[in-house]
Amino acid sequence: MFKFQRLFEGPGLRLCVLASALFIGLSPGSTRAEEAHAIAMHGKPAMPADFTHMPYANPDAPKGGRLTWGVLGTFDSLNPFIVRGLAVQQMRGYVIESLLARGNDEAFTLYGLLARSVETDDARSFVTFRLDRRARFSDGKPVTAEDVLFSWELLRDHGRPNHRQYYAKVARAEATDPLTVRFDLAGANDRELPLILGLMPILPKHAVDVATFEETTLTSPIGSGPYRVTAVKPGASVTLTRDPDYWGRDLAINRGLYNFDEIRLDYFREANGQFEAFKRGLYDFRVEHEPLRWHDGYDFPAVKSGEVIRDTVKPGLPQPSEFLVFNTRRPLFADIRVREALTLLFDFELVNRNYFFGLYSRVAGYFAGSDLSAYGRPADARERELLKPFAAQIRPDIMDGSYRLPVTDGSGRDRTKLRAALKLLSDAGYDLDGTVLRNRATKAPFAFEILVTTRDQERIALAFQRDLKRAGIEPSVRTVDPVQFDQRRLAYEFDMIQNRWDQSLSPGNEQSFYWGSAAADNPGTRNYMGARDAAVDAMIAALLEAREHTDFVSSVRALDRALIAGFYTIPLFNVSEQWIARWNRIERPKTTSLSGYLPETWWSKGQPQAHQAK
Q: What is the pLDDT of residue 32?
A: 57
- Residue 454: name the closest of 577, 275, 580 by CA: 275
What average pLDDT does the structure give for the chain?
91
**Could you tell me if 248 and 335 lie in one domain?**
no
Phi/psi region, residue 376 (left: phi>0; alpha: psi -120 to 50; beta: rest), is left
The model's pLDDT over 449-499, given as tens digits with 9 standing for 90+, comes to 999 998 889 999 999 999 999 999 999 999 999 889 999 999 999 999 999
How many C-beta atoms surround the C-beta of residue 388 within 10 A? 9
Give the whole-number percent of the chain exceeding pLDDT 70.
93
Instruction: Report the C-alpha gap between 227 and 245 in whole angstroms.
Output: 10
Indicate whether 448 belongs to any domain: no
Indicate whether 443 belongs to any domain: no
**Could you tell me if 260 and 180 lie in one domain?**
yes
Indicate whether 396 belongs to any domain: yes
**Could you tell me if 370 and 247 lie in one domain?**
no
- Does 156 score more than 90 pLDDT? yes
**Could you tell me if 249 and 268 lie in one domain?**
yes
**Could you tell me if 526 and 379 lie in one domain?**
yes
Indicate whether 312 belongs to any domain: no
Side-chain half-sphere of 393: how many Cα atoms within 13 Å? 17
Chain mean position to CA 260: 25
Phi/psi region, residue 567 (left: phi>0; alpha: psi -120 to 50; beta: rest), is left
Indicate whether 449 belongs to any domain: no
Q: What is the pLDDT of residue 437?
A: 98
Indicate whether 303 belongs to any domain: no
Identity of residue 94: Y
Instruction: Report the C-alpha gap between 195 and 127 in whole angstroms.
Output: 9
The model's pLDDT over 425-436, given as tens digits with 9 standing for 90+, comes to 999 999 999 999
Indicate whether 408 belongs to any domain: yes
Q: E strands along 133-290, which residues?
A: 172-177, 180-184, 227-233, 237-242, 262-268, 285-288
Q: What is the pLDDT of residue 455?
A: 85
The model's pLDDT over 60-77, given as tens digits with 9 standing for 90+, comes to 999 999 999 999 999 999
- Does 27 score more than 80 pLDDT? no
Instruction: Report the C-alpha gap between 503 and 485 in whole angstroms.
Output: 22
> Where residue 235 falls among pLDDT bands split at 50, 70, 90?
very high
Instruction: Report the C-alpha gap between 1 and 159 in whole angstroms.
Output: 18
- Residue 226: name the closest of 269, 197, 255, 206 by CA: 255
**Residue range 337-341: average pLDDT?**
98
**Could you tell me if 268 and 326 lie in one domain?**
no
- Residue 494: name the closest of 325, 269, 322, 337 by CA: 325
- Does 614 score more than 70 pLDDT? no
- Residue 64: name the closest of 611, 608, 612, 505 by CA: 608
> Where residue 43 falls among pLDDT bands split at 50, 70, 90?
confident
> What CATH number should be reported for the domain holding residue 190?
3.40.190.10
Range of the domain at 510: 321-423+497-574
- The three state secondary structure string of 135-176 is CECCCCCECCHHHHHHHHHHHHHHCCHHHHHHHCCCCEEEEE
| Residues paired with residue 474 on neighbouring β-strands, in sequence order | 447
Out of 336-340, 424-428, 441-445, 520-524, least confident range: 520-524
Instruction: Beginning with the edge strand found earlier in the chain, give each strand of the sheet holding 321-326 in spatial order.
Output: 474-479, 447-452, 496-501, 321-326, 569-574
The model's pLDDT over 563-602, given as tens digits with 9 standing for 90+, comes to 999 999 999 998 888 999 999 999 999 999 999 999 999 9
* SS3 category, 340: helix
* Residue pair 408/354 in contact by the 8 Å Cβ criterion: no
**Residue range 376-387: average pLDDT?**
97
* Residue pair 533/488 in contact by the 8 Å Cβ criterion: no
> What CATH number should be reported for the domain holding residue 359?
3.10.105.10
Out of 45-59, 208-222, 500-514, least confident range: 500-514
The model's pLDDT over 139-148, given as tens digits with 9 standing for 90+, comes to 999 999 999 9
Indicate whether 313 belongs to any domain: no
> Where residue 540 falls among pLDDT bands split at 50, 70, 90?
very high
**Could you tell me if 252 and 179 lie in one domain?**
yes
**Could you tell me if 227 and 362 lie in one domain?**
no
Instruction: Report the C-alpha gap between 122 and 125 in whole angstroms.
Output: 8
For residue 275, count CB atoms less than 10 angstroms from its CB and return exposed for 0-12, middle for 13-18, buried for 19 or more: buried
Q: What is the pLDDT of residue 442?
A: 97
* SS3 category, 313: strand
Q: Provide φ and ψ at 130, rounded to 5°.
A: -110, 120
User: Measured in Å, how far apart are the chain's first and last C-alpha atoms?
Assistant: 41
Instruction: Report the C-alpha gap between 436 and 106 in whole angstroms.
Output: 53
Number of domains in the chain: 2
* Residue pair 530/499 in contact by the 8 Å Cβ criterion: no
**Could you tell me if 116 and 174 lie in one domain?**
yes
**Could you tell me if 564 and 590 lie in one domain?**
no
**Residue range 53-57: average pLDDT?**
97
**Residue range 188-203: average pLDDT?**
95
Q: What is the pLDDT of residue 548?
A: 86
Q: What is the pLDDT of residue 608?
A: 65
- Residue 56: name the closest of 610, 575, 602 by CA: 602
**Could you tell me if 514 and 544 lie in one domain?**
yes
Residue length, the chain? Answer: 614
Instruction: Report the C-alpha gap between 209 and 291 in whole angstroms.
Output: 46
Q: What is the pLDDT of residue 385?
A: 98
**Could you tell me if 360 and 245 lie in one domain?**
no
* SS3 category, 596: strand
Q: What is the pLDDT of residue 590?
A: 92
Q: Which residues contact 325 (CB under 8 A, 6 or more apart)?
A: 496, 497, 498, 499, 528, 529, 568, 569
